């Protein structure tokens, strides 16, 4: 899910609770806080020597001792609106960072709208070889090299 899609979803259902479901089906406790809205830009050299770049909106989620805390979709949309100055490109993917024994980063794989909540469904993030031709692996090439015009990042289509 990209930032534009998330903001539209939140605005369309502005009167509901905002919830997050982990890949195993467990829910992040409803008292979570969104402690950061980040612009995460990474420039790196892959194992084949190609310079690459990735950019994402990362929401850091934290569960603290405030068990009565609840966040509504309308409030989450307004939080994202405040980040517009440093997140002007709303086509970037949204990722969730959450600590449950270890800090993990997840992609947003889908959502569910219930009568009282919007639930983001998370998927695990994975590592991969970005130079498979040098390793004898099938080509995946999810991240285009810097300067490439490829708008999509996976065999199933655009991110």
Give the tens place of pLDDT for each residue, 54-84. Answer: 999 999 999 988 888 899 999 999 999 999 9
Give the tens place of pLDDT for each residue, 85-103. Answer: 999 899 999 999 999 889 9
| Domain ranges for the chain | 3-135
Determine which helix (DSSP H) or strand (DSSP E) holds 76, and give its type and residue range. helix 73-82
- Residue 137, pLDDT score: 79
Q: What is the mean pLDDT of residues 36-43?
A: 97
**pTM given for the model:** 0.83
Residue 101 Cα distances to 6, 97, 104, 110, angstroms: 27, 13, 9, 24
Q: What are the beta bridge partners of residue 94?
A: 57
- Residue 155, pLDDT score: 45
């Amino acid at each position: 899910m990209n930032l534009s899609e998330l903001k539209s979803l939140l605005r369309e259902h502005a009167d509901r609770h905002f919830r997050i479901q982990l890949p195993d089906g467990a829910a992040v406790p409803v008292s979570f806080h969104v402690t950061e809205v980040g612009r995460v830009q990474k420039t790196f050299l892959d194992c084949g020597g190609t310079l690459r770049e990735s950019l994402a909106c990362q929401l850091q989620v934290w569960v603290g001792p405030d068990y009565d805390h609840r966040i509504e979709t309308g409030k989450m949309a307004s939080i994202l609106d405040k980040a517009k100055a440093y997140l002007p490109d709303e086509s970037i993917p949204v990722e969730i960072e959450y600590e449950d024994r270890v800090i993990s980063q997840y992609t947003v794989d889908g959502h569910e709208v219930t009568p009282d909540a919007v639930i983001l469904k998370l998927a695990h993030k994975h590592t991969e070889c970005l130079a498979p031709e040098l390793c004898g692996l099938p080509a995946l090439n999810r991240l285009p090299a810097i300067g490439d015009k490829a708008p999509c990042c996976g065999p199933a289509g655009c991110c």
